[in-house]
Structure 1
Amino acid sequence: MAGKTARHCLFWVLPCLFAINLVLTAGCAGKNARARYSASNNGSSCYAKAVPAAGEGGLAWGPTLDMARKKSLDNCMRYAGRSGGTPNTCQVVLSECRH
């Protein structure tokens, strides 16, 4: 008798869980997707990329070349340190402004 009750309960529980899952998923699907970060800030037309000898580098945007270079070096040092690289070897390898 206990086996019959368990199967009967399972017959209703699984479809209910599936329906709840669909409702929750549908509620999130309509929201606009937003990027976690913006490729460039409003008004930032210059960018720079800095890379270390080992590890991850950094790309940054700024209103001037000097600001973009400074930010990319800061990012490079941070990312290289996190990735087990060599932060003290970061160098800017690319910098330019869009027109």
Structure 2
Amino acid sequence: MTGKPACQSWNLLFLLTLALLTGCAHKSATTGANCYAKAVPTAGEGGLAWGSSLSIAKQKSLNNCIRYAGRSGGTPSTCQVVLAECKK
């Protein structure tokens, strides 16, 4: 009897996670985020982002680069967009 509630909680957690992932995938597919940009610093981790326009994708990737470069011990002030495109 003691194993049954734990099993049920894992099943509930799995279903909740699956529902959240499915919801996120559906949301991104319908928002029209067809542009992407990649920004990198001279040291540390860069950032990739999607957006509904090229300018939004660039700004998001710069923000991500600044955040990730700072966390990885890099140089956030040197982030630059190196790639930006929109799907046709």
- TM-score by structure 2 length? 0.75
Highest RCO, 1 vs 2 (Cα 8 Å, sep ≥ 6)? 2
Two-structure CA RMSD over aligned residues (Å)? 2.5
Q: CA deviation at 1:46?
A: 0.9
**Aligned-pair identity (%):** 51
Q: CA deviation at 1:26?
A: 2.5
Which structure shows the bigger proportion of residues in helix conformation? 2
Larger of the two Rg values belongs to structure: 1
Report what 2:74 is aligned to. Answer: 85
Number of residues of Structure 1 aligned to a counterpart in Structure 2: 84
CA–CA distance in structure 2, aligned partners of residues 80 and 32 of structure 1:
29
Q: Which moved more, 1:55-64 or 1:38-47?
A: 38-47
Q: What secondary structure does 2:32 align onto?
A: coil
Report what 1:51 is aligned to. Answer: 40
Q: CA deviation at 1:42?
A: 0.7
Q: Quick one: structure 1 residues 40 and 73, their matched pair in 2 at CA, closer, same or farther if it must change by over 3 Å?
A: farther
Report what 1:23 is aligned to. Answer: 8
Q: Which runs of 5+ in 1 are unaligned?
A: 1-15
Q: What secondary structure does 2:31 align onto?
A: coil
